[in-house]
Copies of this chain bind each other. A is one copy, B any other.
Amino acid sequence: MNKEHVVIIGGGFGGLYAARRLKNAPVDVTLIDRRNHHLFQPLLYQVATGELSPADIASPLRHLLKDQANTRVLMAEVTGFDTANRQVILRNGTVRYDTLIVAAGAGNHYFGNDHWGQWAPSLKTVEDATEIRRRIIAAFEAAEVASDPDAVRSWLTFVIVGGGPTGVEMAGALAEIARETLRHAFRNINPSDARILLVQSGDRLLPTYSPELAAKAAAALEKRQVEIVTGARVTDLGPQGVIVSHAGQDEAIAARTVLWTAGVKASPLGEALAEATGAPLDRGGRVMVEPDLTLPGHPEIFVIGDLAHFAHQGDKPLPGVAQVAIQQGQYVGELVKRRQRGQQMPAFHYRDKGNIAVVARGAAVAEVGRFRFAGLLAWQLWAYIHLVHQMELENRLLVLVQWVWNFFTRSRSALLITNRQESAQTSATMDAAPGRWVYDTGLWPRLE
């Protein structure tokens, strides 16, 4: 006779920790993901800024779960659900389940302007990170060969939309690249002339953090000449730059590089689940879950992580952070195990272990319980936490080596263009129309 078949959708923190908790449980587990790897999201911005390589923070799911004999990994795309027949519908085929754990996460949200994505990439996948890395390098390269001063300025202007942790981390890293990493690397331009704007719609950075800490982060960024514009909205966006609406005024900012870290939108699988089960969604498309993370009337279906809206603790829903996803994954894994033994489980309760965000090397802000601190100590705590949470020992080793190295050398040896060179080309010479400029030895005197 068949064992209970637990199907987990998504190999992020939630799905992976749920699968891990089911190791040695008397169930068959199938983890479905369209990617072949688990990604350590919190460090993705370091790939986008050339500090780490994708493989340093990504681990093949099969490798992570290969010693878990009751678990199989299926690389496939889920398109919907047939909850009446307890089936997950794949692009090619179906998977039957007894228990379903949906941890499909969230993507980025351009507030109804999805076409903005082509000019303002966001940071969710490894491809996003290498594309952003490419754009940053290509911008400096283009500035180096641009003849017209306005063109140079717009290539050296970087706009980051969104003042949450990712926006703050990207702004700090960009400042470091411009002011330190690329120093002496160019001959026509001075990279530290780069202008870095951080546009935040709210009245302060890091809205989920305490005001004191947010202020410290802002100060640390300003010390690195990052221009912070709060209470400002991006009302339009294109290849030439952005329109920022601030205090009723519209300002056009010419910028060739715009990065998007603003809105978050739940995976479309949330809607698919709502259609199939009638479960309610919140405005962000997240599924409203019961205190035990199941769907109303569907004790066999769980939703966890960024896709879940958990409103049974505190006055606002739990934030879409790794900690929540990890604890929910562990909770659901445990619950499934206990059910097998006919035992009960209390409602899910989130233990907030604190917030921490990095501004730059040696500078972070943290709040743990009642404690709030900033600077080197906070940064060391951040580094420690992010090292020990790496899935593989090898990754810890590699990340550590590069952090130590870069801390002292300020270098970023992963600052590479590894997408197809055509695209790199185009951007690098975009504003140099054929014949419009001649680069020859006559230029040299201009450099002395």
Contact = CB atoms under 8 A, between A and B. Distances in A.
B126 A418 contact: yes
Interface stretch (A9-17, A29-37, A254-262, A301-309): A29-37
A127 B419 contact: yes
Interface string A1-28: 0110100000000000000000000001
A219 interface: no
A62 B417 CA distance: 13
A444 interface: yes
Given A36-B424, A92-B432, A439-B94, A413 B53 contact: no
Best-surrounded residue of A36, A55, A395 (most CB of chain B within 10 A): A55
A7 to B, nearest CB: 9
26 contacts: A2-B442, A2-B444, A34-B421, A34-B424, A35-B417, A35-B421, A53-B56, A55-B414, A55-B416, A58-B418, A59-B413, A60-B137, A60-B185, A60-B415, A62-B185, A62-B186, A63-B185, A74-B439, A76-B145, A91-B425, A92-B437, A94-B440, A95-B439, A96-B438, A96-B441, A398-B398
Contacts of A5: 440-441, 444
Contact of A416 (B75, B126, B428): B126
Best-surrounded residue of A93, A96, A401 (most CB of chain B within 10 A): A93
A252 to B, nearest CB: 27
Interface in A392-425: 392, 394-395, 397-398, 401-402, 405, 409, 411, 413-421, 424-425
Interface in A101-142: 125-127, 130, 137, 141
Contacts of A94: 438-440
A84 interface: no
Nearest to A59: B413
Contacts of A398: 398, 401-402
A67 interface: yes
Given A5-B440, A93-B432, A95-B440, 5 more contacts: A59-B413, A63-B415, A74-B145, A75-B141, A76-B425
Give the interface SS of chain A, mostly helix, strand, loop or mixed: mixed
Contacts of A445: 2
A23 to B, nearest CB: 14
Contacts of A439: 74, 90, 93-95
Contacts of A405: 394, 397
A417 B93 contact: no
A418 B54 contact: yes
A80 to B, nearest CB: 13
A433 interface: yes
A182 interface: yes
A149 interface: no
Contacts of A411: 63, 394
A254 B153 CA distance: 55
A187 interface: yes
A135 to B, nearest CB: 12
Interface string A33-53: 011110000000000000001
